[in-house]
């Protein structure tokens, strides 16, 4: 954002989403919510609608998201219809393009994601993807020949696991990695991380778990009460302390080397914190030629 120039020296981006909308796409989504309310999709008209009515209208659209996949494109396969709008003025372009063009080269960037991002959604009761949903996801989200590439990269994964890997990559993991590459290309200093620690075997290291560790709100008692892949003694203290300290300290004091697309050294928070090559190399190869940008209505 040009208006934010000079206001920030450092930034932390946790689970960068790959969804930024054109005004056309944002308008189409808003109209789907406002038409049942009988009002146009304008601020002047929406201020007269009660908050409860807006919430109910949003919930009704979210429940029907898959019906809009041919109209809205990939965003219809995400958990929410809301994203920032690239209007050409307040937000001139999508972040990947902006950072690659040196729009924020003076802002140090820490960016990362969790290991099992999309499991937050697939682990919820009643949210297991159907065969049709899995096929639709690979048709609309994956790069060319994506389904064959994912099957070759993960031969032991069942269809639900492949769906989870694909959606984690498309929505959070690859946008985060590509953002780091863009910041580096634009002359900025950037560091990357992954949260691999988990305390719940059903959810794994899912989306938003890093919030609990960064803010220290996950107690050892709560973690021990959940079914864990590491047994009943797993504790969040070590990954929480490491994650919080790295967020608070200057990058030059963490010991983690700055991001370089040749090595992609990644700080991985687990029971023990380690620095290693980027963990999802098969996914990185599958998405090498993809360019994240602003999402528009399908042509």
Same domain, 86 and 162: no
Same domain, 25 and 161: no
Question: Residue 256 pLDDT > 90, yes or no?
Answer: no
Same domain, 268 and 154: yes
Residue 232: band (very low, low, confident or very high) from pLDDT cuts 50, 70, 90? very low
**Among candidate residues 57, 92, 127, the one where a domain is terminated:** 92
Q: Does residue 13 lie within any of the structural domains?
A: no
Residue range(s) defining the domain that contains residue 63: 18-92
Q: Look at the chain and report how many structural domains it folds into.
A: 2
pLDDT in tens, 17-66: 999 999 999 999 999 999 999 999 888 999 999 999 999 999 999 999 99
Q: Does residue 297 lie within any of the structural domains?
A: no
DSSP state letters, 199-231:
S-TTT-S-TTHHHHHHTT---HHHHHTS--TT-
pLDDT of residue 224: 82
Q: How many other CB atoms are found less than 10 A from the CB of residue 132?
A: 9
* Average pLDDT over all residues of the chain: 92
Q: Does residue 115 lie within any of the structural domains?
A: yes
Q: Does residue 99 lie within any of the structural domains?
A: no
CA distances from 36 to 90, 130, 158, 236 (A): 30, 28, 39, 46
What is the rounded CA–CA span in Å between residue 260 and residue 275? 13
Strands, E assignment, 59-163: 108-114
Same domain, 77 and 184: no
Tell me, yes or no, if the pTM score tops 0.85: yes
Same domain, 279 and 135: yes
Task: Quote the percentage of the chain above a pLDDT of 90.
Answer: 80
Secondary structure letter of residue 67 according to DSSP? G
**Among candidate residues 63, 92, 121, the one where a domain is terminated:** 92
Q: Which positions ≥6 away from 248 have C-beta within 8 Å? A: none
CA distances from 95 to 33, 230, 260 (A): 27, 38, 19
The residue-averaged pLDDT of 238-255 equals 82
Question: Residue 123 pLDDT > 90, yes or no?
Answer: no
Q: Does residue 25 lie within any of the structural domains?
A: yes
Cβ atoms of 177 and 96 within 8 Å: the answer is no
Q: In this structure, what CATH number is given to the domain that contains residue 240?
A: 3.40.50.1820
**Among candidate residues 66, 92, 118, the one where a domain is terminated:** 92
Cβ atoms of 198 and 116 within 8 Å: the answer is yes
pLDDT in tens, 168-181: 999 999 999 999 99
Residue found under tokens 């406002």: 34
Structure tokens given for 236: 């969040």
The residue-averaged pLDDT of 91-101 equals 96
Q: Does residue 217 lie within any of the structural domains?
A: yes
* Per-range mean pLDDT, top range of 194-203, 245-254, 257-266, 282-291: 282-291
The residue-averaged pLDDT of 173-196 equals 97
Same domain, 196 and 124: yes
Residue 263: band (very low, low, confident or very high) from pLDDT cuts 50, 70, 90? confident
Q: What is the dihedral of CA 265, 269, 274, 276, to 10 degrees?
A: -30
Same domain, 32 and 149: no
Burial zone of 46 (CB within 10 Å; 0-12 exposed, 13-18 middle, 19+ buried): middle
Residue found under tokens 């984690």: 168
pLDDT of residue 86: 98
Same domain, 135 and 272: yes
Burial zone of 18 (CB within 10 Å; 0-12 exposed, 13-18 middle, 19+ buried): buried
Q: Does residue 7 lie within any of the structural domains?
A: no
């Amino acid at each position: 954002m040009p208006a934010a120039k000079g206001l920030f020296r450092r930034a932390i981006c946790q689970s960068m989403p790959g969804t930024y909308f054109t005004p056309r796409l944002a308008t189409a989504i808003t109209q789907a919510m406002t038409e049942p309310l009988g009002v146009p999709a304008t601020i002047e008209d929406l201020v007269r609608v009660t908050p409860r009515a807006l919430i109910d209208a949003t919930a009704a659209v979210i429940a029907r998201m898959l019906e809009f996949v041919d109209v809205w494109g990939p965003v219809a396969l995400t958990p929410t219809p809301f994203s920032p709008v690239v209007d050409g003025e307040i937000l001139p372009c999508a972040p990947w393009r902006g950072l690659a063009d040196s729009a924020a080269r003076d802002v140090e960037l820490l960016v990362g994601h969790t290991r099992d991002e999309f499991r937050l959604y697939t682990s919820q009761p009643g949210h297991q993807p159907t065969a049709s949903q899995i096929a639709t996801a690979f048709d609309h989200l994956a790069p060319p020949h994506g389904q064959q590439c994912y099957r070759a990269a993960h031969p032991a994964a069942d269809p639900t696991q492949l769906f989870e890997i694909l959606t984690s990559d498309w929505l959070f993991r690859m946008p985060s990695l590509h953002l780091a590459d863009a910041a580096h290309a634009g002359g900025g200093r950037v560091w990357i991380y992954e949260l691999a620690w988990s305390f719940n075997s059903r959810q794994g290291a899912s989306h938003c778990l890093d919030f609990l560790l960064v803010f220290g709100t996950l107690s050892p008692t709560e973690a021990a009460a959940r079914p864990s892949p590491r047994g009943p003694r797993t504790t969040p203290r070590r990954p929480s302390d490491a994650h919080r300290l790295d967020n608070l300290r200057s990058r030059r004091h963490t010991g983690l080397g700055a991001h370089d697309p040749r090595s992609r050294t990644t700080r991985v928070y687990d029971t023990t914190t380690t620095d290693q090559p980027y963990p999802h190399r098969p996914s990185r190869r599958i998405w090498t030629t993809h360019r994240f940008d602003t999402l528009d209505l399908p042509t």
